[in-house]
Structure 1
Amino acid sequence: MTYEDLPTTPRAEELIDKAFSRAARAGHAKSGLEAQQSMLQTASNIVSDNLQNVTTSWPDFDVVSPFYRDLADAMIEPHGDCPGGVDGLRKHLSQVMWAGRQAEKIRDEYHSKVRNTDPDTAKKHRKQAFARLASITESVGDDLLALGEARDVLRDIPDIRPDEPTIVIAGYPNVGKSTFVNAATNARNDIDSYPFTTTQVHVGHVERDHIRYQLVDTPGLLDRPAEERNGIERQAVSAVEHAADAILVFVDPSEECGYPLETQLALRDELEAQFAAVPVLTVCSKADRSRDVEADCYLSAETGEGVDETVDAAVAAIDYEIELPYDG
């Protein structure tokens, strides 16, 4: 799953206005006791339904893929006294669910009061119910605001599908990673850019033997040593670990990228240790300028040399097999 389908979260004042204006219209259509009953039913239902819909629209973080869970942990900032990440989202959602259930209780409590009295007394009870509905909604105003902000952040994160084999591109800046992704996908419009912590992540796709592979370039994350990443970036790298099936570490032996080859190889060694569970291939980029490094692949994205061969090497390293239904 992704977060792109999360609906807009209403603000407290918007929800109160919606509930009471709809209730007023419902009351105008009737008179006497029925008008008060209709207004109470309409307002309380709108408040309870909208609040509970907010909570049910969010995924269960216990069952979402670790990739998307870690992204939420990395990207959601604290709000007021509430922590950031998944723990904070759960607290906000719990409060909103509580408020939705309280609105139901108010409806049930005042329904019997309004039903068993005269119109004037019923109107007083209905106004009391409205005041309590407004108070309950306002009490979770900060929670609704936090969930709305979280939704706006998460809906723009990359559509990286954990069920598709994923090739992650790493290496220092200016070593030819983006040029490679452009060349490998054969079309710039096949590459999507998304806000991802403090930078952009680029996702392209290639196909081999009718299997689609994701090429993921994460500038700002896997282009420098771990000690230079902040806490949010380290959590984002953790999310990438869940998605990666192979890592291509680009090195530029010509050093035209501005980084010594020794430094580039040190980053490669660090990533090999960090991504120990997946194959890590060393790619000599800009091979038209220098091949002075021991590598698994040699390419020049500028000339097109070795691009397909590098993709094929990553595909072979992944050795992905489609799971077929068990036919016993």
Structure 2
Amino acid sequence: MSHPFEDLPTTPTAEEVIDKAFSRAARAGKAKTGIEGQQSMLQTASNIVSDNLQNVVTAWPDIDTLDPFYVELADAIITSNVEGEGGIDALRQHLSEVQWASRKAKDIHSEYQGRMTGDADTARKLRKQAFARMADIVEEVEDDLAGISAARDALKTLPDIRPDEPTIVVAGYPNVGKSSFVNLVTNARNETASYPFTTTQIRVGHVERDRIRYQLVDTPGLLDRPEAERNDIESQAVSAVEHLADAVLVFLDASGNCGYPIEVQLELRDALEDRFDAPVLTIANKADLTRDVEADHYMSVTEGDNVDGVLDAAIEAVGYEIELPFDDE
């Protein structure tokens, strides 16, 4: 499956909803005369307004049923990308307001439809009053529609990460061999996409073992520096990744060729061990140059030494088992 925000339709503006409702109503009114024509116009306008606003709401997934990974990530993305927005709670409020406006359009129809008796002139005046009130209702949620639209635009660019797949997160300072490892052990169709709140790209690769597909995720810009250097949005994104990880590989380069002393690399490793509930394995890469660090596994990506062994260890740490249907009898 793709991510839950990928297929969200374009959100109409308040002006677009009003224009569509009243132009359709005008056409409907031409098909009938007198009171019936006015009633038909009112019914059409009400249906268009109510349905279009309701569609905005129902197009969104139920936030309460989403995987926590997506909730936290969406919250971070909306907060960082939509000016003046308060994250996922603001989106909930916008959707609630638009839902209210959808119901209100139906209420206006019910209120006026029964009063359209007597002569056609009176019916026309009542219909115009109803139209004015409907337009006011839609304009009242103009900012809500704009907020929903901005959130939708930001979330459509999410990387295709799947919380339902067993996931190995690859962490460590830059230039320690993370992306080389992911590229080597996964298929050649690795996806790269940007988090909407960083300039760096997330890398996602897949490997299949015993008919189980494992997802390897490298998150440059997030898990490659100390927490103190992350801003609030990036820290929240790390919280999202915590929900995702079934195992974490922390790469070290004891040779120092990566440009970071081994001491700071180990500090990052310790911080990640403290933060993640999932198993955290210490992987000393570039072991062909030096093994002068304590680690769970040693390898050299460039030499192809023990790369499969590290992958096997990660898969074992995940401990994922396919749930098979079984018979109690």
| TM-score bin, normalised by smaller chain | over 0.9
Taking the aligned partners of 2:55 and 2:271, their CA distance within structure 1 comes to 45
What is the CA deviation profile of residues 272-311 of structure 1, one whole-angstrom value per residue up to 9, with x for unaligned ones? Answer: 0111x21101112223333322222223333333322221
2:111 alignment partner in structure 1: 109
Equivalent runs, 1:178-327 vs 2, <5 Å:
178-187=179-188, 189-198=189-198, 199-275=200-276, 277-327=277-327
Taking the aligned partners of 2:173 and 2:83, their CA distance within structure 1 comes to 37
How far did 1:324 drift?
A: 1.9
How far did 1:196 drift?
A: 4.2
Taking the aligned partners of 2:326 and 2:125, their CA distance within structure 1 comes to 65
Instruction: State the one-letter code of the partner of 1:121.
Output: T
Corresponding residue pairs, total = 324
What is the CA deviation profile of residues 150-180 of structure 1, one whole-angstrom value per residue up to 9, with x for unaligned ones? Answer: 1111122122222210000101111111121
How far did 1:144 drift?
A: 0.6
Q: Counterpart of 1:317 in 2: which secondary structure?
A: helix
Candidates 6, 9, 31, aligned match of 1:7: 9
Instruction: State the one-letter code of the partner of 1:132.
Output: R
Q: Counterpart of 1:204 in 2: which secondary structure?
A: strand
Q: Does the aligned pair in 2 maintain the 1:191–1:205 contact within 8 Å?
A: no
2:101 alignment partner in structure 1: 99
Taking the aligned partners of 2:318 and 2:201, their CA distance within structure 1 comes to 25
2:145 alignment partner in structure 1: 144
Taking the aligned partners of 2:105 and 2:269, their CA distance within structure 1 comes to 56
Q: Does the aligned pair in 1 maintain the 2:286–2:299 contact within 8 Å?
A: yes
Q: Does the aligned pair in 2 maintain the 1:253–1:293 contact within 8 Å?
A: yes
1:70 alignment partner in structure 2: 72
Q: Return 300-309 or 249-258, whichever deviates more.
A: 300-309
Indicate yes or no: 2:59 matched with 1:57: yes
Q: Does the aligned pair in 2 maintain the 1:158–1:196 contact within 8 Å?
A: no
Taking the aligned partners of 1:196 and 1:242, their CA distance within structure 2 comes to 19
1:42 alignment partner in structure 2: 44
1:89 alignment partner in structure 2: 91
Instruction: State the one-letter code of the partner of 2:87.
Output: G
Taking the aligned partners of 1:250 and 1:117, their CA distance within structure 2 comes to 81
Q: Return 44-53 or 297-306, whichever deviates more.
A: 297-306
Instruction: State the one-letter code of the partner of 1:15.
Output: V
Instruction: Report the RMSD for the aligned CA atoms in angstroms.
Output: 1.7
Q: Counterpart of 2:94 in 1: which secondary structure?
A: helix
What is the CA deviation profile of residues 102-132 of structure 1, one whole-angstrom value per residue up to 9, with x for unaligned ones? Answer: 1110111111122x13222211111111111
Q: Does the aligned pair in 2 maintain the 1:172–1:223 contact within 8 Å?
A: yes
Equivalent runs, 1:162-173 vs 2, <5 Å:
162-173=163-174
1:133 alignment partner in structure 2: 134
Q: Does the aligned pair in 2 maintain the 1:2–1:159 contact within 8 Å?
A: no
